[in-house]
Amino acid sequence: MINQPRCPHCRRFLYLDALACPNCGGEVAFHILTRQFFGIRNGRTVIDGDTWYTCSNRDWACNWLVWQEAPAGRCFSCRLTRTGPAADDTIALEKLAKTEEAKRRLVLQLGDLGVPIIPWDIQPGGLGFDLTSSLSSGERVMIGHANGIVTIDLAESLDDRREALRVKLGEPYRTMLGHLRHEVGHYYQGTLIKDDATWARCRELFGDERSSYQDALKRHYAMGAPDDWRERFISEYATMHPWEDFAETFAHYLHATGTLQTASAIGIRLDNDVTHMRDTDVVPLHSYQDESVQRLLADWEWMTEAFNRINRSMGLRDLYPFQIVPAVREKLGFMHELITKAPLTTQQQAALALPIPRDRQVR
């Protein structure tokens, strides 16, 4: 089993956002190559003969290390942020810290899946993030994606605001990480699909993305989802337009693989004498790269039932309040094939100045 990141001082398990160990108080920083924490002194540490520095955004809770030869004092994840709050907008910067935490988790998962991450400042149309707050400007911030840039409203990091929107829109699930996973799905639809045959298969499953988005938007908010949407879609929002169906499916693929990887890392398993429906134990895997989507979805079905039961025992909503019907399983199968065949490019390596390996531990 691949170990969880531990404190380098006392060996206690640490969460990915840790700046210091809650057990011994030792100051730590996260090394993206090994997916491990290292102790730091005077804002630096030496790993295999190279000096690594803490990210210049550490005061705003970024705990990543920056290689001595990196092109900037910000870590790779922070460099992906094209626009952020003004330096004197401390309230928005506090909200940025939580959103950047979710973004770092996303970047690590994308690296583990092996999909290419070409930054916006390296290549036109590359991936970037505009993270601004509607509470600061007083103007509406439209969450969305355009030409590689993902826009997120930092105000949604406020639990009460996000929950109010979730209820208003009738959504069963709404988190900052969920927003990020959905919006990068739009980016990767245009990045990972490269040939006519794959586009044809995509349109067969999700619909023709060339149809009018504005007309679909007006229709969706005027009429809502069709009555039978649960037979074909993972969510109501996925019914609006083929773009949204693809992005929602991409996000759910990341939900499943990320959560199963966490379950694998901490040793969760379901014995077959408990499930009574499988001949073998349910043992989540660190990676489903070489597995069929049927194995992935079978493990996910059983684990979500267990997680939902745990949540209900605490009086909480289901961890995963969605049903994966046959039509959605087919879409997730397409996503699995698309992502597991995604290439790591030399441009990505150059942009990172060091690689994010596919086989490293994320959680």
Domain count, the chain: 3
Residues 197 and 84 reside in one and the same domain: no
Residues 217 and 306 reside in one and the same domain: yes
Flag the least confident range among 158-167, 168-177, 197-206, 354-363.
Answer: 354-363
Residues 334 and 295 reside in one and the same domain: yes
Whether 45 and 52 have beta carbons less than 8 Å apart is answered as yes
Q: Per-residue b/e over 50-65, b at no fewer than 16 CB within 10 Å? A: eebbbbebbebbbbbb
Residues 90 and 65 reside in one and the same domain: no
Q: How confident is the model at residue 171 (pLDDT cuts 50, 70, 90)?
A: confident
Residues 84 and 180 reside in one and the same domain: yes
Confirm whether 88 is domain-assigned. yes
Confirm whether 217 is domain-assigned. yes
Residues 6+ away with beta carbon under 8 Å from 168? none
Helix H or strand E segment including 312: helix 293-313
Ordered DSSP codes for 170-218: T-S---HHHHHHHHHHHHHHHHH--SHHHHHHHHHHH--TTS-HHHHHH
Cross-strand partners of 28: 39
Confirm whether 107 is domain-assigned. yes
CA distances from residue 216 to 66, 210, 224, 226, 240 in whole angstroms, order as listed: 44, 11, 10, 13, 6
Whether 362 and 108 have beta carbons less than 8 Å apart is answered as yes
Return the sign of the alpha-carbon dihedral for residues 256, 258, 259, 264.
positive
Whether 328 and 233 have beta carbons less than 8 Å apart is answered as yes
Confirm whether 167 is domain-assigned. yes
Domain extent, residue 30, equals 1-73
Q: Residue 361: pLDDT above 70?
A: no
Confirm whether 2 is domain-assigned. yes
Confirm whether 351 is domain-assigned. no
Q: Residue 103: pLDDT above 90?
A: yes
Residues 146 and 262 reside in one and the same domain: no
Flag the least confident range among 9-13, 52-56, 196-200, 339-343.
Answer: 339-343
Residues 61 and 120 reside in one and the same domain: no
Confirm whether 348 is domain-assigned. no
Residues 200 and 183 reside in one and the same domain: no
More confident residue, 171 or 200: 200
Residues 207 and 165 reside in one and the same domain: no
Q: What is the pLDDT of residue 2?
A: 46
Residues 15 and 151 reside in one and the same domain: no
Q: Which of 46, 73, 100 is the last residue of a domain?
A: 73
Q: Which of 23, 44, 73 is the last residue of a domain?
A: 73
Query: Looking at this protein, which amino acid is placed at residue 139?
Result: E
Residues 227 and 331 reside in one and the same domain: yes
Residues 317 and 215 reside in one and the same domain: yes
Confirm whether 148 is domain-assigned. yes
Percent of the chain with pLDDT over 70: 93
Q: Which of 187, 206, 221 is the last residue of a domain?
A: 187
Q: What is the pLDDT of residue 360?
A: 40
